[in-house]
Structure 1
């Protein structure tokens, strides 16, 4: 979400006052709650008690291509949603943003009439702005990361400088794309995973994940929230921060500081889907509401209710918990009948009877998309909800069953054993009732392209509308006051009179200039700072009518005493690029004098028939008579969260500045509350505050982490070849090599075995991220688990572990 500059034509009265006060207190003020900065700004109340819940949808950028039936943003039932996530945006280890699909994001016309490839109004990012303009109930945002693009979170979050660069880039992105929120989808902190190139050739995995991610995740979120609040103050809009977090207790324990996360974010989307799948040896619900007591894995807590109960027990506020619904299936090819005739196939044994694209044995059923290595190469039984009839045609013996204990449907063929788990309208209504009964914050859905068409063939809305109606009723959703970014533009007006007519020659100048580098920011800056499909509104004291004074003015109409020139009806004036201008003439029936003009406004659209995405005054009204009370808050910079070593010299004001639009440099007026003891390890909070001459105050919090400067005795060399029996020290731990290897991380690779002192029962204490082999015994949370095969997952989180004893 990065966006356009505010109009430089709004003249403000600047009162510059030099302040020399500097106050550095040494004791943290009692009762100070360390939250994100600028908390004084009124935020929308999303608590269920006031009738405002969330219906959150994810939209994948791959949806526009043939594999998803060319499902364009216009097919999303936006009137049924409160939040719409663009998924996904990637980034590198340096914090630079990367498109996962540049053509989808900013290149393709995505079904919009008269939009050309590569135009400033092309791509999903433009189409989402059009959706939001037409549906004031909707907020649009960007989801960063995802299952296959979370590999660099650990590196970025661990380094204060890289983290600051990442946050700055995200702020620019949401500004240029005129978005309303940021969603962080880190899958998953502190849980290392090798990339699965068979299923997705672009999968990064999370090989660098460590236990430190748990703390760094919070620091990243705090930095993002601070930046969102500061930018929101600057642009006079309220931004939100959301996260997508895992549902299982073990994954949450490993990587999420639940109280601090919920203290920081506006809401958290709980990924209560993919809870069971073809990786399990027993069938089950992948998105069940409750845990069926007959589930042999019932103790793993893999249901909506189990996840919500755990979060609430850890202090998560209910109105920030948003539970998940799945618009797709997961399935097994051949499952036994199970032990309960009333629910045949449920919790049945799944046979290994199929193969993935790389010939790996599998239990999975066929997918809707053809099996192809690198592009869905794992048999997982994944079909869109909207393709259930196609699924039943492919597996003609399937019959639908209902598990009333879990409040979840499934499909099963008693002859072949095919089994598929999913959400339908009935289970969706049960989930919505659960949200309301437990005062939760709403529901998320993955994903828009998976829904089914109902009465309107151009919309996929069956489950989306079911959620909306169950949460909000059948009426229209509440509308939000969403900020509309202005563009840096100016106007020159010159009266003219000739034999044919009299009127005004008007020049619209786009004052924006190219500043960004890097593919993502340069492209969204160009799109965001291009004036798109402009219209001019001119209001006069005389109530004059206007008409075209020549080429360039386009179609001119008069509505309620205001002249309207649709410049976009002239091909050359459909866009006004950075640094460019557009000149045209309007003939008037009134006086051709500047005194007659009350105001001139400029609006933009994404498509000609669409709603306006912005409208701003270029001439007259507040541009010439500013409100003296119109005051912007100061901006504090350089106060990002940092990590220092014990014994380091630390000055809390070094590199910190404060600037104010009216007062100028207020750095000397910054006050700091809190202390940092650099002689001992710990996490310390500082509160920075600055007030301008009109008593507008900005306050932010800053986290200073002091860690021990421990010397390393590591002997591992990633550039050296090791053979079986070689012993190395890595991150202070001793490993023995299992076979020939080069450059494989001892903490995560099966080529290395950690040398540990076993417990009396033969087990070893579980080490997050360590690669275990089949037969290894580990102790975790008071229980003993046996690895069933090579695994890096958390004991008890999936079928790779067998519980031996509690």
Structure 2
């Protein structure tokens, strides 16, 4: 009995010790499906990024869902997780994949940047956030100077209050990023090393492979995997201690053009029957009867059944990624998104992917 208790205590201790950062994005809309902050073990993250708040045309921050964020108190319920984990930092993430034009119009106009900075200060103070995360997908070359001006003004307002300023950036450095200047203002940068392949691709491929495959082109090998993309950001001038490297708790699916050709770079006719994307919780509970293949070259699994194919991450591949991130000296692991994990433990251990990351970096 004592041995069992000791083992349980050791396991718990491993999960609570963070040798590297664990940045957990939370898609707040999942609360409508019952995945609320009360479902999460706050000790498993060093940072939680609340996604998203948006932007009005005049530059002020715009609450995305008044009923959820304000009336149901979701902002406060997330920041209250700091009562469970006093070391936790909770950031408000602004933007998302449909906010590029709003960012562009605001950053390029001083009369809009002022309200943006002022309203950000209000929201962080009013709801006990610890900083702001800029999720501009993606600045163009014409936006470079305006992006840096926005960062300078945010940093000037945040620094006296001790607030963090971070960003989510593309896995590809070849966007409108003045990287040598960006790095001066951000406390750290979250690299979105996922969505490497999807229904927009010409053939099957992994959402977030750790390494390249021998079937890929030279460009794909140097861009469409976690290791290459992370190192591209380092080579562009960002220190490893300012980079968190992304992992996806979801997969990308395809409909095969020939069910007998079901490997990597197999021909496709479109997205899978699930719309082209599925959470880990859905994959592990619904696709369990599909054939699973472990690709030891890319360190990722995929599954297929008939003309359906999905590339995704499971507890084995997530472990490999987190261990690689730690062993290569990066600041930490970033997750999109913790609400896509097996929160209820339908397939076994609750929050298994997030726990695997914690075990790998301990």
State the 1:337 CA deviation: 6.8
State the 1:137 CA deviation: 2.6
The match for 1:61 among 16, 20, 28 is: 28
State the 1:274 CA deviation: 0.9
What is the rounded CA distance, in whole Å, between the counterparts of 1:305 and 1:462 in structure 2? 23
**Correspondence list, 1:409-488, <5 A:** 409-413=301-305, 416-453=306-343, 460-471=350-361, 473=362
The match for 2:249 among 317, 322, 327 is: 327
* 1:584-643 alpha-carbon deviations (Å, 9 max, x no partner): xxxxxxxxxxxxxxxxxxxxxxxxxxxxxxxxxxxxxxxxxxxxxxxxxxxxxxxxxxxx
State the 1:152 CA deviation: 0.6
State the 1:182 CA deviation: 0.8
* 1:110-166 alpha-carbon deviations (Å, 9 max, x no partner): xxxxxxxxxxxxx11111132111211311110000012333100111122321221
**Correspondence list, 1:179-218, <5 A:** 179-190=129-140, 211-218=141-148
What is the rounded CA distance, in whole Å, between the counterparts of 1:71 and 1:454 in structure 2? 9
Residue equivalent to 1:81: 45
What is the rounded CA distance, in whole Å, between the counterparts of 2:40 and 2:101 in structure 1? 30
Residue equivalent to 1:224: 154
State the 1:451 CA deviation: 0.5
Secondary structure (helix, strand or coil) at the match of 1:330 reads strand
Decide which structure has the larger Cα Rg and report it.
1
- Does structure 1 retain, via aligned residues, the 8 Å contact 2:203–2:267? yes
Where do 4+ consecutive residues of structure 1 move more than 6 Å? 454-457
Higher relative contact order (CA 8 A, sep 6+): 2
What is the rounded CA distance, in whole Å, between the counterparts of 2:225 and 2:69 in structure 1? 34
Matched, 1:346 2:270: no
Q: Is there any run of 5+ residues in structure 1 with no aligned partner, and where?
A: 1-50, 109-122, 191-210, 233-237, 353-362, 368-378, 474-806
What is the rounded CA distance, in whole Å, between the counterparts of 1:431 and 1:241 in structure 2? 25
Aligned length: 344
State the 1:455 CA deviation: 6.3
**Correspondence list, 1:481-630, <5 A:** none
The match for 1:364 among 252, 259, 271 is: 271
**Where is the helix percentage greater, Structure 1 or Structure 2?**
2
Residue equivalent to 1:93: 57
State the 1:311 CA deviation: 1.1
What is the rounded CA distance, in whole Å, between the counterparts of 1:58 and 1:346 in structure 2? 29
State the 1:460 CA deviation: 4.6
Matched, 1:399 2:329: no
State the 1:289 CA deviation: 0.9
Residue equivalent to 1:735: none
- Does structure 1 retain, via aligned residues, the 8 Å contact 2:221–2:228? no
Q: TM-score, normalised by structure 2?
A: 0.89
Residue equivalent to 2:181: 260
- Does structure 2 retain, via aligned residues, the 8 Å contact 1:337–1:346? no
Q: Say if 1:168 and 1:460 are closer, same or farther in 2 by CA, change over 3 A.
A: farther
Q: Say if 1:325 and 1:287 are closer, same or farther in 2 by CA, change over 3 A.
A: same
Residue equivalent to 1:152: 102
State the 1:290 CA deviation: 1.1
What is the rounded CA distance, in whole Å, between the counterparts of 1:124 and 1:257 in structure 2? 35
Secondary structure (helix, strand or coil) at the match of 1:307 reads helix
Residue equivalent to 2:228: 306
Secondary structure (helix, strand or coil) at the match of 1:400 reads strand
Q: TM-score, normalised by structure 1?
A: 0.41
* 1:269-302 alpha-carbon deviations (Å, 9 max, x no partner): 1111111101111110111111112124625611
State the 1:184 CA deviation: 0.3
The alignment's C-alpha RMSD in Å is 2.2
Residue equivalent to 2:169: 245
State the 1:52 CA deviation: 4.4
Residue equivalent to 1:280: 201
- Does structure 1 retain, via aligned residues, the 8 Å contact 2:345–2:351? no
Residue equivalent to 1:143: 93
Q: Is there any run of 5+ residues in structure 2 with no aligned partner, and where?
A: 1-17
What is the rounded CA distance, in whole Å, between the counterparts of 1:456 and 1:387 in structure 2? 10
Secondary structure (helix, strand or coil) at the match of 2:230 reads helix
